[in-house]
Structure 1
């Protein structure tokens, strides 16, 4: 067997990070977690360090248990940007939430490394900077989102320039059948109860508002080098068809599978090979039965419209939109605002945003910071 691929898992204590470590543990030595970076859950990070014995570890505020585990494992504390560019790291999995994934992604790409990207905000905020870093360093992006992994697979072996349309599928989230009156009364607990996927808190709320799908349209534009006009969204309740690509001759390819994030995670780590053993249960189409498709309702779920408009506007507008959403979701989860206040706050912030057409990294970060400040100040229940 070849030497294991050395994986840096940034965001190891989150949903994607935990599933990635499960894939690594089950890989029969094909992968090794050589760097772990977590957030506030330092107790879990300490357990992960003790189990995987990485070379590098990071936490914003290490606890005594983490320091003890790192010392026992011989791990060195290092910032994510340093880890992402380290010569003894082969693949960087960016599974952090929000803007925290941007600098490590840029560092890894400039160092010529593959980045398995599971952070939507990185491409939404600064897709143009990410593509420049790829060109400068020779690194590449491997999508981990199930939808973008599906598109990626559909494009294998195809001639560049033959894509007519990318079609992202959306489950519709926890509230796809609710009226506006019902949406106004939903609670954080209801928003976190996704009908299909088990995900982190922020992305689950984004799924309920369809902001998640809106951000995915912007991601698709940057990942696959297509205009926003070539990206579409359809509702698909069963989450069996993960996305589709329509080609110039009218042919449509789709990738299907059971809804389990371990499959796209494993594929991003093993590419260009496929693992010999299934990472998830096999799909039984006869048992799945009928598959349904429909159009999303942007009147009840305006976050999808706001995100796609931001993608078309470009510049710093997507960064401001993503930052406003992050603050609004946190305020909703803290019961400070209602569910329908999330799109209202985003729209209010975008009305006040002064866009920069081709922003530098500093200008992107400044737009992010200003949007957060504005979003925190918008009162609940005030129309945009």
Structure 2
């Protein structure tokens, strides 16, 4: 019986994780669940899965959570510190599916307790890759990649030596604007950008997928997760989203992981690791698909990806600044304060001003850099 703590239990990754847990109640139990808000939904999850602890990051949602769980015996708490506390509770695995830089502190808390982390919060490694990976190595903690692309690469590596790897490719659907002209992309509305062709996800990650910033963040995550040089990481646009990642080796071999566009595939891999568990994802019928296509990303029409690639190459605090500025710009776009085409421009300006300097060595350093970048980005979104 493996005990799980699920951070971000009401989101897409969280609900898919819980779906698998419900199918394998003989293998997993839920220790704790968290959410940003959505108190009633979180309370229902906690009751249904017998969680011992439930917490919301938004303190204004605490009264509703406490009321919904009254008499259940389930411990409740609220605030960012409560999410950190959840991550540090005794468990075998923490599923880190909190969105944004808010996920860094809980991931570090889990690592500090020696708990295996199934990582679906790419910002932890984008904003604090050196810090997080350094702590994981120091404590001998396993980080399992739960994002579909990184999970695909992890499977394609299959214990191979990194010295034998020439190139790692992450695939991208291309988002809703894959065939749009640059001028049309710049004028896109939130409704346009939220129409992801393959996945139903949260608003922020869906906007990042439309700008291809999400793929840039994933490159930075892969750089840290696999300890691979930036110039060996590439993106391929693959609209069918059947091939999720590929590894090219020095002998000319290329190993790819294929699967349905269903997050339960990489989640099941992580939950069962090092074994495999039964999963409900649709099985591939390659004959019916007929063909798979690939193309290079257009860094002119999608400048956010270019900015992420440049930040990865620069290193230091640049990725943290990139992530923070992008979070604020996406928030402003969804609120109707800026155009879609302004997102990359704002990120570029903040990077130019604050992107130099060393990476954060402590959580306090990270918080300072992150807040400075957010404040600067906000000044451009008014």
- In structure 2, the residue matched to 1:190 is 192
Is residue 2:117 matched to residue 1:123? no
Q: CA RMSD in A?
A: 1.4
SS at match of 1:264: helix
CA distance in 1 between counterparts of 2:200 and 2:264 reads 11
Mean Cα displacement is larger for which, 255-264 or 72-81? 72-81
Is residue 2:325 matched to residue 1:328? no
Mean Cα displacement is larger for which, 371-380 or 196-205? 371-380
CA shift, 1:379, in A, is 4.6
Unaligned runs of 5+ in 2: none
- In structure 2, the residue matched to 1:113 is 115
Scaled by the length of structure 2, the TM-score of the pair is 0.95
- In structure 1, the residue matched to 2:165 is 163
Mean Cα displacement is larger for which, 328-337 or 71-80? 71-80
CA shift, 1:259, in A, is 0.2
CA distance in 2 between counterparts of 1:180 and 1:242 reads 26
Unaligned runs of 5+ in 1: none
- In structure 2, the residue matched to 1:85 is 88
- In structure 2, the residue matched to 1:355 is 356
CA shift, 1:287, in A, is 1.2
- In structure 2, the residue matched to 1:237 is 239
- In structure 2, the residue matched to 1:96 is 98
SS at match of 1:253: strand
CA distance in 2 between counterparts of 1:69 and 1:237 reads 43
Check 1:52–1:68 CA distance in 2 against 1; reply closer, same or farther (3 A cut): farther
CA distance in 1 between counterparts of 2:355 and 2:147 reads 31
CA shift, 1:352, in A, is 1.1
CA shift, 1:33, in A, is 1.7
Aligned counterpart in structure 2 of residue 12 of structure 1, from 6, 9, 12? 9
CA distance in 1 between counterparts of 2:192 and 2:73 reads 43
Mean Cα displacement is larger for which, 63-72 or 40-49? 63-72
5 Å-filtered alignment, 1:136-147, equals 136-147=138-149
SS at match of 1:278: coil
SS at match of 1:72: coil
CA distance in 2 between counterparts of 1:90 and 1:157 reads 23
Is residue 2:31 matched to residue 1:34? yes
SS at match of 2:69: helix
Determine if contact 2:268/2:279 at 8 Å carries over to the other structure. no
- In structure 1, the residue matched to 2:75 is 76
CA distance in 2 between counterparts of 1:20 and 1:207 reads 21
After superposition, what is the alpha-carbon deviation per residue over 1:223-244, rounded to whole angstroms, capped at 9, x for unaligned?
A: 1111111101111010000010
Determine if contact 1:50/1:69 at 8 Å carries over to the other structure. no
Scaled by the length of structure 1, the TM-score of the pair is 0.95
- In structure 2, the residue matched to 1:58 is 55
CA shift, 1:63, in A, is 4.2
CA shift, 1:186, in A, is 1.2
Check 1:72–1:136 CA distance in 2 against 1; reply closer, same or farther (3 A cut): farther
CA distance in 2 between counterparts of 1:278 and 1:191 reads 31
CA shift, 1:46, in A, is 1.7
